[in-house]
Structure 1
Amino acid sequence: MNLVAIRSRVQTLLAVASLTALAAACPAIAAEQTQANAAQTDGPTAMARARVAADVLMSSYDPDKAWFPSSWWNSAVALQTIGDYMQRTGDRRYLGQLNNTFEKDKGVFPAGVLSGDPLLGNFTSRAIDDSEWWGLTWLQAYDLTHDPKYLNMAVTIANYVYGYWDTSTCGGGVWWDGERTYKNAITNGLWIRLTAELHNRIPGDTLWLGRSKTAWTWFQNSGMINADGQVNDGLTNACTNNGQNVWSYNQGLAIGGGLELFRATRDPKILTSVRRLADAAIGPNALVKDGTLTEICDATDQTCDDNGKQFKGIFMRYWTDLVDTTHDRRYASFLDQQADSIWNNDRDAAGRLGTRWSGATSDDHPNVFDWRTQASALSALVGNVPTLTPLASLAATLSPAQPVIMPAASGVTTIPITLSSSATGFFPLLALASVDAPSGWTATQRASLVRLQPRGNAIPASSTLPLKVTVPGTATDGHHLVTANLVAAGLRFSTQADVLVAHAINFDTGTVDENPWLFDPANSQSNGVQNRFADGNAHFTYRFPFPADTTSAHVTLTIDAEFLVQASTDNEHWTTVLQETNPVTDGSNKADRTIDLTPFLGAAVDGSKPVYLKVSDSFPNDGWGGRVYHVKATIVE
């Protein structure tokens, strides 16, 4: 009997045994699962997609500062999204990171440490909306753990925010800032949701319910909701609609606040208002382009700032709530469409999800991929997971996902690639892994069996399989896909590595052309084309796999600020090759600087001589670390 036949027989027996045992033990659950899967396309795959995306997001979490680098309120939303993921899927691997953030960041911090504003303790600051985001994050943590410290923190934050509810201006509403300069949609949408969530979690409460109802009534009559049912950004000094952008997160919080208050009151009028807001969001001239949720700044002649990158995910968090509450198929179809567009059009081989969910890009304003865009898109993938958690799921990734080959004049180059598999469920899985490589390339092992022993959903079972891909010296320059398929007991998942074959190194930072060379982005940041920088203790590392017959190499960096550049043969032992010794914070030292990499060309490994180049901050205490704009290498063979 051949391998495929053996695999088929084993998987069939396991599947039958699994379903038989389940039906015998829990017939009601089995029936509900069948019904849920019929209502939603391939729930196990949706769960696997969310797990892959969540793991990519958490790879950017900084455990020392207990946040996602350089964004305070964005970090709250990212952690809340991870909480949503854990609640929806049963995966509990990231509870420790939630607790780590709670314990490390609840104190008082001066401006510039975690936020541009001083933090006053208990996750509060002069930015009232930032404080509210953290309140909702800790309520999500409370729902996951039932630890009262999270609920108590949310109450503390809400009491602080209530100090900025003011009826003397515009008849009510919470001020956006400590200076009391602006009343806007996001701060008050957050307030409605926060107070309603507190009521729904505190037995016998009347205080927070009253505040939430008062805020909802005020918001509905404030004028911020325009004639089309869309929410503009805020109010003028004369307390009229200011006509500013209809951002998706404002619309989302209006929907989410109403839904939570509806759960508290069961008032059908509230749900009617919520539906009007929802219909306005996806109706004509609204927030959708060709079926995909699209922010104003998603236009290909614009770039969303670090705030705008997360707006759509916030909208989808509360849209998911809308689907779960109303069971309206129109709303569910829209959610499904967003998740599919993200996965099919807005994902690179490394599992990173971009800011434009349609995948649109342009040379001057490329589609951006970072942890903020990852958190945003993850919300849609989480919403796509059935509310009744699938009994099993199977996921896979390839690493490195974006390897680079620089072929020598003759011979072949071998890439070591690892297939990582993960599964949830209650029964053993024997998965068949198969690898497809481009014509003329060789992949070993082409087919293998992967054994996984899941024990529920809380900690997915994992396994790794080493592979090798051999690339002929005749391979043409460009991107080539290697695909791995994993199949087990009716479950299947595909993943890819995007192999770049290149004879030259020449790229702008902050673009997709940089990604294959960026070996370790660490905690560096990129705010657009020709922009990657590392402040404080952050750094980023490029890997240049020079051809095996290279005898000399130079690299030229367009760089400024307070840079420290080091080179290495093995990514472990570093030599400083470039350093700014003066504090420069205005970019005045921007220049092309050439580095001789010849001393770091070691022995050929798998057909290449890799050199690592790390950029960091020569004055880590003032926040103006090395910034690279362009990278170009000259090679002598």
Structure 2
Amino acid sequence: MAKRTRMRTLLAATSLMLLATALPSPATEQAQPSNARTDGATAMARARVAADVLMNAYDPDKAWFPSSWWNSAVALQTIGDYMQRTGDRRYLAQLDNTFEKDKGTFPAGVLSGDPLLGNFTSRAIDDSEWWGLTWVQAYDLTKNPKYLAMAVTIANYVNGYWDTSTCGGGVWWNAERTYKNAVTNGLWIRLTAELHNRIPGDTQWLARARTGWAWFQGSGMINANNLVNDGLTDACTNNGQNVWTYNQGMAIGAGLELWRATRDPQILASVRRLADAATGPSALVSNDILTESCDAIDQTCDDNGKQFKGIFMRYWTELVDITRDSRYAAFLDLQAESIWADDRDAAGRLGTRWSGATSNDHPNVFDWRTQASALSALIGDVPTPAPPESLAATLSPAQPVVMPSASGNTAITIQLGASATGFIPLQAITSVDTPSGWSITPRATMMRLDPHGNANPASNSMPLTLSVPSLATDGHHFVTANLAAAGLRFSTQADVLIAHTIDFDTGTVDENPWLFDADGSQSNGVQNRFADGNAHFTYRFPFPADTSSAQITLIIDNEFLVQASVDNVHWTTVLQQSQPVTDGSNKAARTIDLTPYLGAAVNGAKPVYMKVSDSFPNDGWGGRVYHVSANIVH
């Protein structure tokens, strides 16, 4: 990348506004062709913003991403991919935290539905392999031999489930030896080839990788169209089950790592056939966007399917790096552009449908699994070597709610954050655009950033005061911040919801602006948010400054504990299920009077916090909320 011309003098205050108004708006960016190549600095900034959003969901106490064991391994490996590609090293401590805290034995239900046998192994052989790949990635980043040793321990465990007595070979999917499938064996080839490529003088792991690849190629799981079906029947024939993107991607990744070990052109040719088939007509794409079968507008992907496409893109990125084929690179770029333009909300969260498609019954889902999946495409869009400098920005809160009073403007504070990598101090020009009739202070200013390489991006922030008129109409309104420095540009938005009423289903995009703290809660779809064990979720209701009384009605069931607070610190129980209920039989609309918690108006609002948790945390059936509505008296 050519070295950019840098701003060497501080711009005079009289020229600041002129420069700020020249910054590009989101509309200008969106007017560019959708297949335009994103410059490397912007691609790296986008990946950094998305990676930070993902790591906000990491639980440092349990050292995982809540409620999903193998998905946590894949998410951590994705963060490893991000660090390796960009040079950012801020999350090495979280990798080690997981390694040290979770390498022991755990009973079923603590970290996995299965008992964990120690060293990240369990009866789920594929789960064990995902962790093996994660620790190889950690070794690549740190060269700490303990991570590679753990990967070897896991691989030795998996090797015990290679069995030539059924179907001539292959690794069993589970300890009960009931199924031989594509993902377990793709993972096996990849893991063994990775070990060979990192252990000097190895012959054992290479032999196992070669044997695994030869068996997989002849197993029948790769159909006549070069697409990988899920597995084999009891008669050792292709079972014709779904072609999931992660099975196809894992086969590509297995072949690429073995090719690195052998430089066998026949292996690379096989990989190309798999790749060409994946993006061919009626394969794994819809309108050129990678699409899982469960991404259909009348379906919802489960927690496993949410993460499949990211695994595909991890290994597709390697394919681009190795082959330098412009067709493969163009496909990768298109996925990243579609995700950023169509599948991203103002909070930087990335959804499951990369086209952005949604419906009322099957909305586009945003959670940490979908974040990790889409992040893989953004990582792949970062060139190698990583650009020497980048500039990113965020607004926080990204989805604030304003409930205007009957008269007078409402003022809220939004924090503008910026981060940068590079080696020379930057003076970032900032310009903020608001809807007509709104105002923000300051509208234009400058922020200084002092980066020292890529390993720890420099950051800075400043408060912005947004004034919303009382006559602002209900709905979503966007505030846009544009930053520019030394030839670098980045735009970010806050999605301000104006609401005179409260009425939303949980598990939908309508819930998001009200959800102050999701903690470890989960949502399995429309009208569903629950908090089991020690998890909780908190809503923030910024009642208008002239509110005299307020009641919230929840449709809720199971073992709920509901608390209210005026400051999100001191809590009072306002609703509690006193007897164990685990079947939803107590589902009902329950009204809570929040009037006692209406404090003095602050920034034009009387905020009340409401937290839902589990009244019997030991049995895993915590409070589940379906709908929230309010009655407000001014």
The question of a shared fold, defined as TM-score above 0.5 by the shorter chain, is answered with yes
**Shift of residue 40 of structure 1?**
5.6
Partner of 1:502: 499
- The SS at the match of 1:389 is coil
The two structures, once aligned, show a CA RMSD in angstroms of 1.3
Partner of 2:236: 239
Partner of 1:450: 447
Deviations 1:113-156 (A, max 9, x none): 00000000000000000000000000000000000000000000
Q: How does 1:26-45 map to 2 (within 5 A)?
A: 41-45=38-42
Mapped to 1, the partners of 2:188 and 2:568 lie a distance apart of: 48
Partner of 1:169: 166
- Contact kept, 8 Å, 2:17 with 2:444, in 1: the verdict is no
Residue 49 of structure 1 pairs with residue 35 of structure 2: no
Question: TM-score if structure 1 supplies the norm length?
Answer: 0.95
Mapped to 1, the partners of 2:621 and 2:255 lie a distance apart of: 43
Partner of 2:361: 364
Deviations 1:531-580 (A, max 9, x none): 10111111110011111111010000011111110001111111000011
- Contact kept, 8 Å, 1:252 with 1:318, in 2: the verdict is yes
Partner of 1:117: 114
Mapped to 2, the partners of 1:195 and 1:581 lie a distance apart of: 53
Partner of 1:32: none
- Contact kept, 8 Å, 1:7 with 1:432, in 2: the verdict is no
Residue 523 of structure 1 pairs with residue 533 of structure 2: no
Partner of 1:564: 561
**Shift of residue 495 of structure 1?**
0.3
- Contact kept, 8 Å, 1:403 with 1:500, in 2: the verdict is yes
Mapped to 2, the partners of 1:472 and 1:563 lie a distance apart of: 38
- The SS at the match of 1:165 is coil
Letter paired with 1:546: F
Q: How does 1:124-163 map to 2 (within 5 A)?
A: 124-163=121-160
The 4+ residue runs of structure 1 with deviation greater than 4 A are 6-9
Mapped to 2, the partners of 1:583 and 1:107 lie a distance apart of: 32
Mapped to 2, the partners of 1:614 and 1:4 lie a distance apart of: 49
Q: How does 1:19-418 map to 2 (within 5 A)?
A: 41-418=38-415
Letter paired with 1:130: D
Instruction: State the identity %.
Output: 80
Partner of 1:613: 610
Residue 538 of structure 1 pairs with residue 535 of structure 2: yes
Mapped to 1, the partners of 2:541 and 2:16 lie a distance apart of: 43
Mapped to 2, the partners of 1:463 and 1:171 lie a distance apart of: 60
Mapped to 2, the partners of 1:4 and 1:80 lie a distance apart of: 48
Deviations 1:430-487 (A, max 9, x none): 0001100000000110001100000000000000110011000010111000000010
- The SS at the match of 2:331 is helix
Distance 1:4 1:186, change over 3 A: farther
Mapped to 2, the partners of 1:429 and 1:40 lie a distance apart of: 25
Partner of 2:13: 3
Mapped to 2, the partners of 1:310 and 1:8 lie a distance apart of: 45
Partner of 2:23: none
Mapped to 1, the partners of 2:97 and 2:620 lie a distance apart of: 24
Partner of 1:581: 578
**Shift of residue 349 of structure 1?**
0.2
- Contact kept, 8 Å, 1:7 with 1:430, in 2: the verdict is no
- The SS at the match of 2:525 is coil
**Shift of residue 584 of structure 1?**
1.2
**Shift of residue 6 of structure 1?**
6.4
- The SS at the match of 2:524 is coil
Letter paired with 1:502: A
**Shift of residue 3 of structure 1?**
3.1
Runs (5+) with no aligned partner, structure 2: 1-10, 20-35
Distance 1:513 1:40, change over 3 A: closer
Mapped to 1, the partners of 2:487 and 2:367 lie a distance apart of: 33
Mapped to 2, the partners of 1:562 and 1:40 lie a distance apart of: 51
Deviations 1:141-180 (A, max 9, x none): 0000000000000000000000000000000000000000
Partner of 1:473: 470
**Shift of residue 2 of structure 1?**
4.6
Deviations 1:219-273 (A, max 9, x none): 0000000010000000000000000000000000000000000000000000000
Letter paired with 1:108: T
Distance 1:556 1:199, change over 3 A: same
Deviations 1:345-391 (A, max 9, x none): 00000000000000000000000000000000000000000011101
The total of aligned residue pairs comes to 609
Partner of 2:31: none
**Shift of residue 595 of structure 1?**
0.2
- Contact kept, 8 Å, 1:40 with 1:386, in 2: the verdict is no
- Contact kept, 8 Å, 1:482 with 1:497, in 2: the verdict is yes
- The SS at the match of 2:313 is helix
Q: How does 1:427-442 map to 2 (within 5 A)?
A: 427-442=424-439
Mapped to 1, the partners of 2:581 and 2:456 lie a distance apart of: 47
**Shift of residue 5 of structure 1?**
3.8
- The SS at the match of 1:527 is strand
Question: TM-score if structure 2 supplies the norm length?
Answer: 0.95
Partner of 2:419: 422
Distance 1:219 1:102, change over 3 A: same
**Shift of residue 41 of structure 1?**
3.4
Deviations 1:178-206 (A, max 9, x none): 00000000000000000000000000000
- The SS at the match of 2:483 is strand
Mapped to 1, the partners of 2:621 and 2:142 lie a distance apart of: 39
Letter paired with 1:339: A
Mapped to 1, the partners of 2:567 and 2:385 lie a distance apart of: 47
Letter paired with 2:553: T
**Shift of residue 92 of structure 1?**
0.4
**Shift of residue 7 of structure 1?**
9.6
- Contact kept, 8 Å, 1:212 with 1:261, in 2: the verdict is yes
Letter paired with 1:556: T
